[in-house]
Amino acid sequence: MSDDFKYDYLFIGTGNSALTAASLLANAGKKVCMLEAHEYPGGYAHTFPWGDFQFCAQVHYIWGCNPPPPGHTQGGQIYEFLKKIGLERELTFELFDPDGYDRMAMPDGKIVGIPYGFNQLVDNIEEAYPGSRDSVRRFLNIIERIRYEMVRVPDHQIRWWEYMAKGWRFLTLLKYKKKTLQEVFDECAVSKEAQAVLCAQAADFMLPPEKLSVFAFTGLFCGYGNGAFYPTKHYKHYFERIANFITEHRGCHIFYKSMVTGIEADGDHITKVHTKDGKTFTAREIVCNMDPQKAAEMIGLEKFPDTWRKKLDYDYSGSSLMVYLGLKDFDFEKYGLSNGNVWHMEQWDMNKIWKEQGAGDFSKPFFFISMPTHHSTEPGVAPPGHQIMEVGTYTEYKEWKELHDTDYKAYEAKKNALGEQLLDLVEKHYVPDLRKHIVVKVVGSPTTNEEWVWAPKGTAYGEPCTPHQIGPRRLPQETPFKNFYFCNATAGYAGIYGTTSNGIRLYAKLTGDRFYDITKGPTDKEFIEDTRKLASTSARG
């Protein structure tokens, strides 16, 4: 084989974690090979065509895209990643509405905007639900303190003496490490109305407050609070450009429709990776973007130590039902739909909603509305004069899978019926004549997720973000095999920001190049101030 086909790194999968690490390695002159079971890069963030439309499978907004504020040399993590590989001017982002990047629609008909900055958020909740101010401020004070300490935790395995010498700096983390979001709500006596506003975006976590780690909530809520963004040229262009960036480098390749079916181990090394079409690949180092449980089964669980088998015995997060709509002659502004996402609740208690929907009861569902062509008017995902709207909700896998396998006609009927029920609610509350504009409708269920992104049980995030799983107990990137690494939402964190972080961390471990350090960047307050200035400039423009 020629030198072009002798790889330094072999990646199993092209999800965002893998694309991030692979592009950094290619940029550093390494020879990279990626194997993708499907025909598009991006994993859960891939874009699929349907008629004349291009729908992003699951991702709707991201954070960490801020350029450096004045007086700083470092911006958000995603901006710095793109800068490292020289694409920060080509892959740009649009900022969501500063007064409500998320709009929480409550059961009583009130809509509360989630703005950039907690002071304005407290005012918004107090205006809607007088008497909430003090409890919400107590809650957000805890969140801000957790956030402050989180970004200062050392990015390495913490040694025993560090607990002794530096533990006093992380007293809030130690106090709340086993706490759920609900427990912190209760501690602060947050009202049911304010709780609903603060947790209406539960589908961003795929867990209700009574199960969600308050650390996971803090990371996401504070992240979006610094700036919620959408790619200027849409997710399709973003991930295709990064994939093309990799293959533009000599000796780097991505092989699509190359499903991995076998992983061979010899002692403490992985030696070969086999694909369904009978090909065998190898490399000095192998990075697994596939679900760790699936990969371990291919290798052989008996080859993992007992401690690892316990780590690999995890549950999966919940899943979703998505309705993808192509619309004609539709104007978002006509219906008062601002440039942000809508989160709609039919009842106050998210824990109750979660139990009901998890059991298949959608009589009072919650759902969200995302509007990609409202977030950016750049062409590329819809024909001229057309728009895209996506409506989704939480569901579980088991019943969908059983029906899919035993009575496919009934499965299709159930899937479409729930989709129609969600559209009924969108028409009732937001767009009375929505169906008049629909020219394309696609409905995806947990089994769709399983088929198209190899997500076991249709999981949205792999291992769930419970207090038990967040922090030191979460699956590490290093494995018992010296040349084999996990790099995915389970061995790290989920979402575009989280998976980008996973890729950056693995790259730093493999090369020693730690180009991004969150502790050396702007504070949240500085980011927020600059984000609001950016929004003001965009509005004037």
Task: Provide the pLDDT for residue 1.
Answer: 39
Mean pLDDT of all residues in 232-242: 98
d(CA 68, CA 75): 4
Would you say 372 and 230 are in contact if contact means Cβ atoms under 8 Å apart?
Answer: yes
CATH code for position 245: 3.50.50.60
Would you say 40 and 17 are in contact if contact means Cβ atoms under 8 Å apart?
Answer: no
Q: Are residues 346 and 392 in the same domain?
A: yes
Query: How many domains does the chain fold into?
Result: 3
The 10s digit of each residue's pLDDT in 245-284 is 999 999 999 999 999 999 999 999 999 999 999 999 999 9
Q: Are residues 359 and 441 in the same domain?
A: yes
Q: Which of 387, 511, 438, 538 is nearest to 25 (CA)?
A: 511
**What's the token pair of residue 492?**
């790290």
Does residue 164 lie within any of the structural domains? yes
Mean pLDDT of all residues in 298-313: 95
Q: Does residue 510 sit in helix, strand or coil?
A: helix
Q: Which of 286, 259, 255 is nearest to 270 (CA)?
A: 286
Tell me the C-alpha to C-alpha distance, in Å, between residue 339 and each of 95, 323, 332.
9, 19, 9
Task: Provide the pLDDT for residue 473.
Answer: 79
Q: Are residues 77 and 148 in the same domain?
A: no
What residues contact 24, with CB distance under 8 A and at least 6 apart? Answer: 81, 84, 85, 503, 504, 507, 511, 513
Q: Evaluate if residue 311 carries a pLDDT over 60.
A: yes
Q: Are residues 288 and 179 in the same domain?
A: no
Task: Provide the pLDDT for residue 4.
Answer: 42
Torsion of CA 56, 58, 64, 67, to 10 degrees: 10
Domain end among 196, 225, 254: 225
d(CA 91, CA 259): 29
- Helices then strands, each counted (H, E), the chain: 20, 19
Task: Provide the pLDDT for residue 474.
Answer: 87
The 10s digit of each residue's pLDDT in 210-236 is 999 999 999 999 999 999 999 999 999
Q: Which of 170, 146, 95, 474 is nearest to 314 (CA)?
A: 474
Does residue 45 lie within any of the structural domains? yes
Does residue 73 lie within any of the structural domains? yes
Which residues span the domain enclosing 211? Answer: 98-225
d(CA 277, CA 259): 8
Q: Are residues 343 and 439 in the same domain?
A: yes
- Exposure letters 238-254 (e unless 16+ CB within 10 A, then b): bbbbbbebbeebebbeb
Q: Are residues 341 and 443 in the same domain?
A: yes
- The DSSP annotation for 409-455 comes to HHHHHHHHHHHHHHHHHHHHHT-TTHHHHEEEEEEE-HHHHHHHH--
Q: Are residues 237 and 322 in the same domain?
A: no
Can you give the three-state secondary structure of 87-135, one letter per residue?
CCCCCCEEECCCCCCEEEECCCCCEEEECCCHHHHHHHHHHHCCCCHHH
Q: Are residues 154 and 61 in the same domain?
A: no
Q: Does residue 308 sit in helix, strand or coil?
A: helix
The 10s digit of each residue's pLDDT in 400-454 is 999 999 999 999 999 999 999 999 999 999 999 999 999 999 999 999 999 988 8
**What's the token pair of residue 35?**
């194997």
Does residue 531 lie within any of the structural domains? no
Does residue 541 lie within any of the structural domains? no
Q: Are residues 84 and 112 in the same domain?
A: no
Does residue 532 lie within any of the structural domains? no
The 10s digit of each residue's pLDDT in 152-174 is 776 655 554 454 556 557 789 98
What residues contact 89, with CB distance under 8 A and at least 6 apart? Answer: none
Would you say 531 and 95 are in contact if contact means Cβ atoms under 8 Å apart?
Answer: yes
Does residue 325 lie within any of the structural domains? yes
Residue 226: phi, psi to the nearest 5? -85, -15
Q: Are residues 372 and 470 in the same domain?
A: no
Q: Are residues 276 and 188 in the same domain?
A: no
Does residue 407 lie within any of the structural domains? yes
Domain end among 413, 436, 456: 456
Q: Are residues 264 and 346 in the same domain?
A: no
**What's the token pair of residue 29?**
């002159």
Mean pLDDT of all residues in 105-132: 97
d(CA 388, CA 379): 12
What residues contact 384, with CB distance under 8 A and at least 6 apart? Answer: none
Domain end among 423, 456, 489: 456
Q: Evaluate if residue 386 carries a pLDDT over 50.
A: yes
The 10s digit of each residue's pLDDT in 505-534 is 999 999 999 999 988 889 999 999 999 887
pTM, rounded to two decimals: 0.95
